[in-house]
């Protein structure tokens, strides 16, 4: 029986495979014989399926993102005078709908906070402030008599909704905080070059180009545009000396920028290691398989594992594909599609080890039956683990051989031709 | 009793929390019943509170930075002829005041150096030179008869005051020194591409555009603007061959720049590791808690700890927040806000371990009572430490259990409702 | 006897040597006395020789790349109206030939897939889709009556052929997938700055420049051009406030970009380590020399080795050169050019260790006789290996001494002057 | 007696100190009483002193660099028609002199190669080719009747002399070779975006802007300028769709560039580690102090040390400065300036350990008496070394204590006031 979710690859596996194959046929076939209610349910399930990978990227709800996109597009279109005249009603309607949506969303959240007695916390939290600036500025501006398109410009604050509830920002902010001292030094360096270069350029070029370099603010504008290597070209030095100074400023710009990037790269590498360890640790210590290990080994293994959250009914492994990782189940449940009847594996079990021990081809389909948290062990780390922890190696090897034997026995006994070829 | 400084989070903790909450209510409430002297003192203390995080960023004194900003702004405004005419007096007054301020500052420093018999050292030090170029050029220029706005342009050197006493620059300079050889190679590569490209472009384009590419200096200007990817657009190749060459130059520019950034990133990562070790080592070896360890373990632990300087009366931990680090006191003192009476912890003590051992919620407020130096141990490193050093794990665990027991006993005996909820 | 392939250095060795020397004389001399068939064979062998390093860079077949280059060039020329008029026939012929070539290629591949019963797999694979979009759009467009040059624009899709069968893309894609979360956060940050900056700029500048900033889409265009530091200069803020905002946007652009680069650098470093381990592991475990080691040591050694594929008859080591690596033969065979007769080394043997043990000058020429896979051990890692694995050190040392002894004995006995000096 | 070279800091120490102090007084005072020959010698020695740090940066000879700079400047000036008319004779003379200088240089080198029987090697080496292209093109062009300034444009090839004999290039080239595969993938990505974007832009914008986007080559030029974020602004999309596509291209440009930089950063970090190990290893194994260690420890220590070459008579350590590293002498000799008479330390000795063991202030001046090679051990690594190798710790500690005792005894006995304060 071909399982519907087989066609849907988990994003971690598709880079090496063809992307197209993974979005081909739908996860559930709509059979004409079924009732409308069932049909609708299947459509919704399919939609949830297809958007599962999207949801990982911080967009907590696709609906919200859709409203947001519509709202921002309408707001943008509203400032174009032609569109504003021809489609005034529709754009206004769109904008008011979006505003209503955000107002309801904010109200629900505020209500929940009030009931939990945390109203003040909510108002002062990032989420609360985003809700406030999304809802109130436009009505207030309209009430104060600001003209239509201008008042709706406040709706550009809706873009902050993108960042609401996104954990990734905390991580980026942490990099900036940890590396605050060197980054501040680079900014000071930037300011010093900026001021000295623009003062010198002002002196050099003010006679030839009194408009572009006649005052220090104008020269500062040139310096910023040049030092960031933006280079609009609205103010360009003309004298030989000015051009020499300009060259130095450009090279300083690149040097400063390189330093800045280097600092952020260093900070991000450290933060990334730290976050991964923390995310994985709790899960590792809960997997029974690892509980025989001493704390030192657990620390070591934690560095090797990568955590992924997988929604319900998503294929993790597809038969016949080349595999380069194995999985431990930290939460949830998966179903292994073996003959004659599928086997379910629960928390603490592992799968996918056969491809690592043998000839690297997956021998069965594995799909989640519940939303699951898996720990991924890459081939490289798998081999290191096998090398350093002989007891784990023995357990995995024994289980692998047992499963292989079972597979063979099943294939021999259940020698009926199966149509699954894919 | 709600402690005033509770509302003030240490910058290391706020990225994950709401920024706004941390600057809401003032640290000390101004009570109307108190005298003016006391009021003034409170205002000053509050100001010191709020600017504490700012002071970390190399701005050794907020007042100085303010004077500097005023001075640079006035100098900039002075070069705009309209402003100069309308506000000549005020701008001049501003500039003279700033100059006076820097003169006094320089005088104080010189005096101190003279008394210590190190006048020559001071004059030749970076700090002394910055003082000199901040004070003397403007009066000398005015004395030499240079016109007003031009003479004051020398005040742009005041921007160097930003770098005075900033330790971050030494670090950046060290990166450049350590990686001097590869960086010099990249610069040579840059020069080679520059010269060859501009000579070729001069030959290709000089007939079509005799002004823009008619001489090698003009072509060199084009090459610098292109190779740094600034791209003013004042000189653009028009022929097919010229555009092909231009494309190659742009791609070379990106390649060179990438190499440059890569070198700086590598150098900065090494320097960052080194600095952190040196900053932390002395403190670690002084904490009694670590003195039972052998040198190898101390080296290892030093790599895990991060040092922070925290001013007086700043909340380090707030009850109810989620915690992901513990603290060792290397210098200073903190007060733990437990019932019935606060407990003070001195040098060598640790706190915040309960959240790491248990359910990650802070169980008490902790605030500094003196300017303190704390060593921060992240959750990830805490777990590695626990895994590798069983004796430390035992001590921390025992202390954690003792404190937890005390907390419970206190809550049972002192069963009066406390109003502190926040 | 001077061996022809001596003159041809393996790319891994040439950075330190002169590039020119390595492409000087041809690998096989064409002797006039030989027949035409032999001559042709020699020419082809030589061509294969010279293009061997090229083939490593993902260009699986030089012929294909040549057809592709011709096709893209013809397509590009076809859009220039002058060329189109003057060389219509030749360009059309060129394009049709290329199309025919790709059609044949696609047909062969489809045929192979059909025979293997994997037609559907092929059609949905990246390779199949590239074949489809390379072959069909142009004929379909022409059939639909689209004018000549416009229809041939679809031939720009041929550029995708460059990526067909290239393993490097999987690696780059993996970096993006692994770091998807932080990269998405950076993109969101980018969008937030974009929208807020353009709304503000629209308000600030719309009165002065109604065309450039009169609508939000126009202001968004400015914001994108500025935030990416492209800086066309077609829309430039003119007011003081606008320029201040513009400066902030430029600096935000650099900060965002630095973060982006830092994330990719971190991700790439991790992915690079992982890939190298996986590529090397299988080979290492098959080399007999390493089979005495325990798994932990094999893991360690795997990290030190780098795999290279070398075509037949290519010189790996040249006598008299300075060497800084040794080689293990994982597959294939090499011939060591020692007197009196060359020695052949097979799978599991090693060579090049003499230069690392002694005075770093290669004592013999070594060339592959079959396509071989070698594992390279750098000098730095060689010394670490010697330090940590005394048994390996003993084996390599003994073998080195034996060979050195043999070399000396040979030189003494076979004391005839050999003319090979090069 | 104040030693002359005291005033000259080794570049590794100056970032933390004032730069100015280090170039103040000259290393040798010219005494009027001495003869002219001695005076000249002193001047030359002083010059060698001051240029010593410069020579580290790949400029093997300052004189050559000077000739090169003059030559390139004259060549550049020669293309400016005004200068050419007014100073024709002088510029020509300059250029001919430089050409003569390079011809002599090339001749000397060729002669040396001939005598060593390696003429062919020399001609095919990078150095030989640079010599050839520096000497011959200009005379040949003049002989062929090319006009004066155009013929001299070939002199721009002189810039290659900068790279001659520079070891840094090999290192950069190695990074490119090692990371060739991913870099090639990025280039292919770049090409794909380039072609597809320009074909699409050509279709979108050709009606509105027939000159800028009317043909594919023009659109390709736009795509290159945009994708590299150069942004000349000579061709800018005007339609909404074109601008949307342009935005995507810019963001792709930044993404591609970030990947490129990330790859180079990763490659450079690996190469940098490798090079440092190889440079240091030979020296470490020759220092007697380390010869008691087992190979594993030597490998470990090699990673900690950094090698520097210091010319004769340069101060390595200055009394009273804060020190954060110690030195091992791998070659050469240093003189420690202690009372009553200086002590000389030879190969295998170490110095500077007192500041690391005690209060971090240098207690004596140390200067080289011969060109020396020192191995620098940073404070961070010094502490790790002390922690892991107790036997070395004991030796260094004992020697430190002995020297400290001697210092104290000397100070007590030799209680005459010494005037050296600085």
For residue range A201-215, list pLDDT tens digits in order. Answer: 999 999 999 988 988
The three-state DSSP-derived secondary structure of chain C is CCCHHHHCECCCCHHHCCCHHHHCCCCCCCCCCCCHHHHHHHHHHHHHHHHHHHHCCCCCCHHHHHHHHHHHHHHHHHCCHHHHHHCHHHHHHHHHHHHHHHHHHHHHHHHHHHHCCCHHHHHHCHHHHHHHHHHCHHHHHHHCCCCHHHHHHHHHHHHHHHCCCCCHHHHHHHHHHHCHHHHHHHHHHHHHHHHHHHHHHHHHHCCCCHHHHCCHHHHHHHHHHHHCCCCCCCCCCCCHHHHHHHHHHHHHHHHHHHHHHHHHHHHHHHHHHHHHHHHHHHHHHHCHHHCCCCHHHHHHHHHHEEEEEECCCCEEECCCCECCEEEEEEECCEEECCCCCCEEECCCCEECHHHHHCCCECCCCEEECCCEEEEEEEHHHHHHHHHHCHHHHHHHHHHHHHHHHHHHHHHHHCCCCCCCCC
pLDDT on residue C8: 34
Give B156's DSSP letter.
G
Q: Is the pLDDT of residue C81 over 50?
A: yes
pLDDT on residue B413: 67
Question: Could you tell me which of A157, A244, D170, D258 has the C-alpha nearest to residue C17?
Answer: D170
Q: Is the pLDDT of residue B143 over 80?
A: yes
Q: Do A221 and C247 touch (CB under 8 A)?
A: yes
Mean of pLDDT values over B179-197: 89
A233 inside 8 A of chain D by CB = yes
Task: Give tens-digit pLDDT for C253-293.
Answer: 988 888 888 888 888 888 888 777 777 777 777 777 777 77
Question: Could you tell me which of D52, D48, D27, D28 has the C-alpha nearest to residue D38?
Answer: D28
Higher pLDDT, A102 or B406: A102
Residue B383 CA to residue A294 CA, distance in Å, equals: 12
pLDDT on residue A246: 94
Task: Give tens-digit pLDDT for B347-400.
Answer: 888 888 877 776 677 878 888 888 888 888 888 788 777 777 777 778 888 888
- Please tell me whether residue A304 adopts helix, strand or coil conformation: helix
pLDDT on residue A50: 52
Whole-structure pTM value: 0.78
pLDDT on residue B58: 37
Mean of pLDDT values over C142-150: 88
Task: Give tens-digit pLDDT for C199-237.
Answer: 999 999 999 998 889 889 999 999 999 999 999 988 899
C292 inside 8 A of chain A by CB = no
Residue B118 CA to residue D320 CA, distance in Å, equals: 12
Best probe of the D interface among A79, A265, A267, A269, by most D CBs < 10 A, is A265
For the purposes of burial, counting CB atoms within 10 Å of the CB of B198, is it exposed (0-12), middle (13-18) or buried (19 or more)? buried
Q: Give the model's confidence band at B414: pLDDT under 50 very low, under 70 low, under 90 confident, else very high.
A: low
Cβ-Cβ contacts under 8 Å for A208 (sequence gap 6 or more): A238, A239
Mean of pLDDT values over B282-300: 75
Q: Is the pLDDT of residue C67 over 90?
A: no
Best probe of the C interface among D231, D252, D280, by most C CBs < 10 A, is D231
Query: Across the beta sheet with B366-368, what order do the strands follow?
Result: B315-317, B366-368, B334-336, B343-345
pLDDT on residue D174: 81
- Please tell me whether residue A366 adopts helix, strand or coil conformation: strand
Low-confidence ranges of chain D (pLDDT < 70): 1-62, 165, 167, 359, 411-422
Give the chain C residue whose CA is nearest to the CA of D225. C230
- Please tell me whether residue B368 adopts helix, strand or coil conformation: strand
Residue C82 CA to residue C86 CA, distance in Å, equals: 6
Q: Is the dihedral of CA B266, B271, B276, B282 positive or negative?
A: positive
pLDDT on residue B11: 36
Smallest CA–CA distance, residue B138 to chain D, in Å, is 22
Distance separating the N- and C-terminal Cα atoms of chain B: 12
Q: What share of chain A in percent tops pLDDT 70?
A: 81
A167 inside 8 A of chain D by CB = no
Residue carrying the six token digits 């040979």: C410
A221 inside 8 A of chain C by CB = yes
Q: Is the pLDDT of residue B130 over 80?
A: yes
Q: Give the model's confidence band at B54: pLDDT under 50 very low, under 70 low, under 90 confident, else very high.
A: very low
Q: Is the pLDDT of residue C4 over 80?
A: no
Q: Beta partners for A309?
A: A373
| Averaged confidence pLDDT in chain C | 77
pLDDT on residue A115: 84
Q: Is the pLDDT of residue C43 over 70?
A: no
D242 inside 8 A of chain C by CB = no
- The answer to whether residues D380 and D303 touch, using CB atoms and an 8 Å cutoff, is no
pLDDT on residue C10: 37
pLDDT on residue D316: 83
Q: What share of chain C in percent tops pLDDT 90?
A: 19
| Averaged confidence pLDDT in chain B | 77
Q: A248-262, B372-386, C129-143, C204-218 — which is least confidently predicted?
A: B372-386
pLDDT on residue A29: 45
Mean of pLDDT values over B126-137: 88
Q: Is the pLDDT of residue A8 over 80?
A: no
Residue D349 CA to residue D372 CA, distance in Å, equals: 12
Task: Give tens-digit pLDDT for A135-179.
Answer: 999 999 999 988 888 899 999 999 998 887 677 787 888 888 778
Question: Could you tell me which of B319, B317, B287, B324 has the C-alpha nearest to residue B302?
Answer: B287
Neighbours of D234 (CB within 10 A): 20
Smallest CA–CA distance, residue B234 to chain C, in Å, is 10
Residue carrying the six token digits 């009570």: B31
Task: Give tens-digit pLDDT for C349-392.
Answer: 888 887 777 767 787 888 888 888 888 888 878 877 777 777 77
- How many residues does this entry show for chain B? 422
Mean of pLDDT values over C388-410: 79
Q: Is the pLDDT of residue B252 over 50?
A: yes
Cβ-Cβ contacts under 8 Å for C13 (sequence gap 6 or more): C317, C318, C321
- The answer to whether residues D91 and D77 touch, using CB atoms and an 8 Å cutoff, is yes
Smallest CA–CA distance, residue B22 to chain C, in Å, is 23
Q: Do A182 and B19 touch (CB under 8 A)?
A: no
In chain A, which residues have their Cβ closer than 8 Å to the Cβ of B232?
231-233, 236
What Cα–Cα distance (Å) separates residue A96 from each residue in A87, A93, B284, B336, C202? 14, 5, 60, 51, 22
Q: Give the model's confidence band at B226: pLDDT under 50 very low, under 70 low, under 90 confident, else very high.
A: very high
Of A106-115, A251-260, A382-391, which one has max mean pLDDT?
A251-260
- The answer to whether residues B274 and D378 touch, using CB atoms and an 8 Å cutoff, is yes
Query: In this structure, what token pair is assigned to residue D201?
Result: 């832009």
pLDDT on residue B296: 73
Higher pLDDT, A282 or A245: A245
Question: Could you tell me which of C317, C313, C335 has the C-alpha nearest to residue C326?
Answer: C317
Neighbours of chain B (3+ CB pairs under 8 A): A, C, D
Question: Could you tell me which of C217, D206, C249 has the C-alpha nearest to residue A84?
Answer: C217
Q: Do D168 and B174 touch (CB under 8 A)?
A: no
Neighbours of chain A (3+ CB pairs under 8 A): B, C, D
Residue carrying the six token digits 């008319």: D85
Question: Could you tell me which of D385, D379, D420 has the C-alpha nearest to residue D16?
Answer: D379
pLDDT on residue C23: 31
Q: Beta partners for D232?
A: none
Residue D202 CA to residue D216 CA, distance in Å, equals: 6
Q: What is this model's ipTM?
A: 0.75
Q: Is the pLDDT of residue B30 over 90?
A: no
Higher pLDDT, D19 or B70: B70
Q: Give the model's confidence band at A34: pLDDT under 50 very low, under 70 low, under 90 confident, else very high.
A: low
Give A162's DSSP letter.
G
pLDDT on residue C236: 92
C98 inside 8 A of chain A by CB = no
Residue B297 CA to residue D384 CA, distance in Å, equals: 10
- The answer to whether residues B228 and A258 touch, using CB atoms and an 8 Å cutoff, is no
pLDDT on residue A55: 42
pLDDT on residue A54: 42
B268 inside 8 A of chain A by CB = yes
CA-based max dimension of chain B: 96
Task: Give tens-digit pLDDT for B3-29.
Answer: 333 333 333 333 333 322 333 333 444
Which of D220, D261, D269 faces C261 most closely, judged by CB atoms?
Answer: D261
Q: Do B261 and A262 touch (CB under 8 A)?
A: yes
Cβ-Cβ contacts under 8 Å for B174 (sequence gap 6 or more): B271, D15, D16
């Amino acid at each position: 029986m071909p399982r519907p979710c087989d066609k849907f690859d988990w994003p971690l596996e598709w880079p090496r495979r063809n992307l197209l194959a993974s979005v081909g046929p739908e996860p559930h076939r709509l059979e004409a014989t079924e009732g409308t209610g069932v049909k609708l349910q299947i459509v919704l399930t399919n939609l949830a399926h297809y958007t599962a990978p999207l949801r990982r990227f911080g967009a907590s709800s696709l609906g919200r993102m859709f409203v947001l996109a519509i709202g921002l597009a309408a707001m943008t279109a509203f400032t174009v005078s032609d569109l504003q005249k021809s489609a005034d009603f529709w754009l206004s309607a769109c904008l008011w709908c979006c505003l209503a949506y955000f107002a309801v969303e904010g109200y629900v959240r505020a209500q929940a906070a009030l009931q939990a007695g945390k109203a003040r916390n909510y108002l002062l939290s990032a989420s609360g402030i985003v809700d406030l600036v999304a809802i109130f500025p436009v009505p207030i501006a309209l009430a104060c008599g600001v003209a239509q398109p201008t008042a709706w410009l406040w709706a550009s604050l809706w873009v902050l909704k993108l960042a609401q509830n996104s954990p990734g920002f905390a991580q980026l902010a942490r990099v900036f905080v940890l590396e605050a001292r060197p980054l501040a030094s680079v900014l000071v360096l930037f300011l010093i070059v900026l001021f000295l270069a623009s003062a010198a350029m002002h002196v050099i070029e003010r006679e030839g180009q009194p408009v572009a370099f006649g005052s220090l603010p104008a020269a500062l504008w040139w310096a910023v545009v040049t030092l960031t290597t933006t280079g609009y070209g609205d103010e360009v030095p003309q004298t030989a000396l000015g051009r020499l100074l300009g060259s130095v400023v450009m090279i300083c710009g690149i040097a400063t920028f390189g330093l800045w990037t280097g600092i952020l790269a260093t900070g991000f590498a450290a933060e990334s290691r730290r976050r991964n360890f923390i995310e994985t640790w709790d899960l590792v210590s809960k997997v029974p398989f690892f509980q025989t290990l001493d704390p030192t080994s657990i620390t070591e293994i934690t560095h090797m594992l990568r955590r992924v959250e997988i929604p319900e009914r998503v294929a993790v492994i597809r038969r016949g594909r080349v595999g380069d990782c194995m999985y431990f189940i930290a939460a949830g449940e998966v179903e292994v599609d073996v003959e004659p009847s599928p086997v379910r594996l629960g928390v603490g079990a592992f799968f996918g080890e056969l491809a690592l021990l043998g000839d690297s081809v997956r021998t069965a389909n594995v799909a989640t039956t519940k939303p699951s948290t898996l720990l991924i062990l890459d081939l490289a780390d798998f081999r290191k683990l096998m090398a350093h922890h002989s007891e784990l190696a023995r357990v995995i090897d024994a289980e692998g051989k047992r499963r292989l034997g079972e597979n063979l026995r099943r294939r021999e006994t259940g020698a009926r031709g199966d149509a699954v070829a894919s």
